[in-house]
Amino acid sequence: MSSTLCRRDDRDVPAIPMSSSQIVDDLAERIRAGEYPPGSQLPTYAALAALYDVSPATVAIVIRILRDRGVVVGVPGRGTYVANP
Task: Give the mean pLDDT of 25-32.
Answer: 96
Question: What pTM did the predictor assign?
Answer: 0.80
**For a pLDDT cut of 90, what percent of the chain falls above it?**
75
Q: How many CB atoms lie within 10 A of CB 58?
A: 19
**CB–CB of 65/24 below 8 Å?**
yes
Q: How far apart are CA 24 and CA 42, in angstroms?
A: 13
Task: Give the mean pLDDT of 33-39.
Answer: 96
Q: How many CB atoms lie within 10 A of CB 27?
A: 25
SS3 67: helix
Q: Predicted confidence band at 15 (pLDDT cuts at 50, 70, 90)?
A: low
**CB–CB of 8/18 below 8 Å?**
no
